[in-house]
Structure 1
Amino acid sequence: MRNQSVEFIMAGRRQRRRRWVLVTSLLAVLAGMLCCAMLLLGSTIYPVQDVIRALSGEHLKGVFFAVNTIRLPRMLAGLCAGFAFGIAGYTFQTMLRNPLANPNVIGITSGSSAAAVFCIIVLHSSRAVVSAASVIAGLATVLFIYMLSRGRSFSVGRLILVGIGIQAMLDAVISYLLLVSAQQDIPAALRWLTGSLNGSQMHELPPLVITVIIAAPIIIVLGKHLDILELGEQSASSLGIDTGKTRITLIVSSVCMIAMATATTGPIAFVSFLSGPIAKRLVGVGFSNVIPAGLVGVNLVLAADLIGQFAFEYRFPVGIITGLLGAPYLIFLLIRMNRKGEL
C-alpha cells in the first residue's frame, strides 16, 4: 500500500514536470517566433536571408540600417523588458500571496516614473541620467513602502494599502509636473509614460541586459524558496528558510529589474500584473513558474507591439495595447476577490 502511494505521488510529479517542460518550451518557441517577426516586419518586409545577412554585418542597402538600427534594438528592448516585468511581477505576487501585489499597483513603477518625468521635464537630462534616476527612485520607493508597512510585524495587506497610497501620491506628482511643464517637453514625457519600444537604441540597452542577466538567475535560483514563502511566514521559517534575507534578496533583485526596464521602455502597463497568473494557469502548480512568467511577459510585450504597429490604421505604443488587455482582467479579479471576501 505504501509503495502504491509513493508511486502515485511520483507519477503525479512526473506528469507536472512534463507539463512544465512542454509549456515552457512552447512559450520559448513562441517568443522566438515573435522575435523573428519583429526583425522581418515593418514598413518594408525583408526576406529572411537578407535579414540574416544584415545581422551578420553585411551592409545591404536599406536592410542593414532598418534591421540593425531600428528593428533589432526594438526587439531586444521588448525581449528584456518583457522578461523583467514578467519575473518581477510574479515574484511580488507570489512572495506577498496576493495577485494585486505587483509593482504597478503598489507604487514601485510610479516611483520610477515620477523620477524619470522630473528628469525629462525639469532637468532636461540625458537618457542615461533618466535611467539612473529611475532605478534609484524605484529602490527608494520600495524601501519607503516596506518601512511604512512593517509596524510590529510584516503585513502583506498593510504593504499593499501603503503602496496604493504612495502610488496615488506619486501619480499626483506626475500630473502636476505635466501641468506646469513647458509645452515642448510634454510629448517626450507622455511618450515615456505610455510605455513604448519606439526609438530604442542599441547603446541604451546594456544596463537593462546586464541587470536581467544578473538579477533573473538570482530569482530563478530562489524559486523554490519563493514558493515556500507563499505558504506564510511561520511555515517558511519552520522549513528552514531565512525569510528576512530571502525576501530582501527577492525584492532588491525584482526592483532593480523593474526599475531598469521602466527606465528603458517606460512603464508598460499590466505586463507584470498579467504574466504570473497566465503562467500559473498554463503550467499549474508543483514547480517554480519564474521562467514561464518571464516568457509570458516577453510574449505579451512583443505581441502587443506587433499588434500596435500593424493591426490598426494608426500605430499605437505597446503600453496602450497591454493596457487594453489588462484592464478587463483587473476588473474581473477585483470582482472575484470581492465575492470571495478577500477585499
Structure 2
Amino acid sequence: MNNQSIQFIVTGRRQRRRRWILVTGILAILAVGLCCAMLLLGNTIYPVKDVIRALTGEQLKGVSFAVNTIRLPRMLAGLFAGFAFGVAGYTFQTMLRNPLANPNVLGITSGSSAAAVFCIIILHTSGAVVSVASVIAGLATVIVIYLLSRGTSFSIGRLILVGIGMQAMLDALISYLLLVSAEQDVPAAIRWLSGSLNGSQMHQLPPLVITVLVLAPVVILLGRHLDILELGEQSASSLGVATDKTRIVFILGSVFMIAMATATTGPIAFVSFLSGPIAKRLAGVGFSNVIPAGLVGVNLVLAADLIGQFAFEYRFPVGIITGLLGAPYLIFLLIQMNRKGEL
C-alpha cells in the first residue's frame, strides 16, 4: 500500500469522524433544547428565570409545583426512556444485522407490557413490582424466542419470524387481560399501553435512571465490538471478539433497559425501531452509532410528546405520535426488503 492510498484512507476517516462529532453534537443540542421546552411550556408558559429559581429549590407560587412536580418528572422520563429505547433498538438491529430485529417487532416489548398489564389490572400493584415483572418477562421472552428459533442452526430470519409470532400471541394475551379486568382498571391500562409520559412522578424514575446510567455506558464502551458483530459470526471471531459472551452482554443490557423504560412510560411505539436507521443515516458509518441512536430516541420521544400536547385540539399520548411516524417507515422497509429478496 503506497503513501497515497494511506493518505486517502486517513483523510476519509477524519471526514467520517468530523461528521460523527458534528451530528452527535447537533443531536445533543437539540435534546437539551427540547428538555428546556418541556420545562417551560404548559398551560402556563413561565419565564426562564422563574423556572431556574424553581429548579434550585426556591418556592414560587404555582411555578414550583408545575415545574418540579409535573414538568420535571415528565421531561426526565422522556429523556431516559428515549435514550434506553434508542440504544436498545440500535443494539438489536446491528447485532442481528437486520433493521426489523428490534425489541418492538421481536415481541420483547410486548412481553414486558403483558407482565406490566397483569400487575396493574389483575394484581393491582405498581412501582417496583411492575418494574421487576417487566424485566423478568422481557428476559423470559428473549429466552423463549431464542430457543424456538434455533432449530438445527441459528437463523436471524427464523428468529424474526418467531419474534413476530410471539408478539402477536402476547398482544392477544394483553387484549384478553383487558377483557376480563374490572371496568375501572381498563382506562389506566389503556393509557399505559399507548405509551405516555402523563402522570410521571419522581419516585418512579430511580430504577430507570440507574439502569440507563449503569448499562448504557457498558453498551457504549463495547460499541466497537457491536460493529464487528455486524460483519458476521466468522469475521467477528477471526478479529478476536468473544461472540457468545459479547452477544449475551448486549442482549441482557438492552433487555434490562427496554423493560425498565417500558415499565416507566409504557411501550412508546417505534422509537427503538426508528432511532438506529435515523442515526446511521445522519452520522454515517465508520464509528459506533450507539450514542447518536440514543440521542435520536431522546429527540423522538420529547418532540413527539410536545407535538401530542400542543399541536392538536386534543392532547395525545406520545406513543400515538411516534406510532404515526413509525408505521409508514415500517411499511416502506418491508417493501424494500421484499424487493431485495430479504423476506
TM-score w.r.t. length of structure 1: 0.99
Rounded Cα–Cα distance in structure 2 between residues aligned with 1:292 and 1:72: 23
Match of 1:151 in 2: 151
Match of 2:166 in 1: 166
Percent identical residues:
85
Deviations 1:277-301 (A, max 9, x none): 0000001100000000000000000
Select between 136-145 and 147-156 the one with higher mean Cα deviation: 147-156
How is 1:215-234 mapped onto 2 (pairs within 5 angstroms)?
215-234=215-234
- The CA deviation at 1:207 is 0.3
Match of 1:291 in 2: 291
- The CA deviation at 1:151 is 2.8
Match of 1:200 in 2: 200
- The CA deviation at 1:139 is 1.0
Match of 1:240 in 2: 240
1:61 paired to 2:61: yes
Rounded Cα–Cα distance in structure 1 between residues aligned with 2:218 and 2:150: 25
1:46 paired to 2:46: yes
Select between 323-332 and 124-133 the one with higher mean Cα deviation: 124-133
- The CA deviation at 1:128 is 2.0
Paired residue total: 343
- The CA deviation at 1:153 is 3.0
- The CA deviation at 1:162 is 1.1
Match of 2:337 in 1: 337
Deviations 1:232-257 (A, max 9, x none): 11111111111100000000000000
How is 1:5-24 mapped onto 2 (pairs within 5 angstroms)?
5-24=5-24
How is 1:83-94 mapped onto 2 (pairs within 5 angstroms)?
83-94=83-94
- The CA deviation at 1:179 is 1.1
Match of 1:99 in 2: 99
Where 1:123 maps in the other structure, the secondary structure is coil
Match of 1:4 in 2: 4
Segments of structure 2 that go 5 or more residues without pairing to the other structure are: none
Deviations 1:129-184 (A, max 9, x none): 11211111111111111122223332211111111111111111001111111111
Rounded Cα–Cα distance in structure 1 between residues aligned with 2:275 and 2:309: 22
Q: Which amino acid aligns with 2:105?
A: V
Match of 1:76 in 2: 76
1:316 paired to 2:316: yes
Select between 82-91 and 234-243 the one with higher mean Cα deviation: 234-243
Q: Which amino acid aligns with 2:6?
A: V
Rounded Cα–Cα distance in structure 2 between residues aligned with 1:215 and 1:127: 21
TM-score w.r.t. length of structure 2: 0.99
Q: Which amino acid aligns with 1:186?
A: V
Deviations 1:186-237 (A, max 9, x none): 0010011000000000011000000001110111011011001111111111
- The CA deviation at 1:36 is 0.1
Rounded Cα–Cα distance in structure 2 between residues aligned with 1:34 and 1:180: 40
Instruction: Report the aligned-residue RMSD.
Output: 0.8
Select between 147-156 and 81-90 the one with higher mean Cα deviation: 147-156
Match of 1:128 in 2: 128
Rounded Cα–Cα distance in structure 1 between residues aligned with 2:287 and 2:126: 43
Rounded Cα–Cα distance in structure 2 between residues aligned with 1:245 and 1:148: 20
Q: Which amino acid aligns with 1:254?
A: S
* Structure 1 stretches of at least 4 aligned residues deviating more than 2 Å after TM superposition: 150-154
Select between 79-88 and 176-185 the one with higher mean Cα deviation: 176-185
How is 1:169-188 mapped onto 2 (pairs within 5 angstroms)?
169-188=169-188
Rounded Cα–Cα distance in structure 1 between residues aligned with 2:333 and 2:147: 28
Q: Which amino acid aligns with 1:20?
A: W
Where 1:126 maps in the other structure, the secondary structure is coil
Segments of structure 1 that go 5 or more residues without pairing to the other structure are: none
Where 2:247 maps in the other structure, the secondary structure is helix
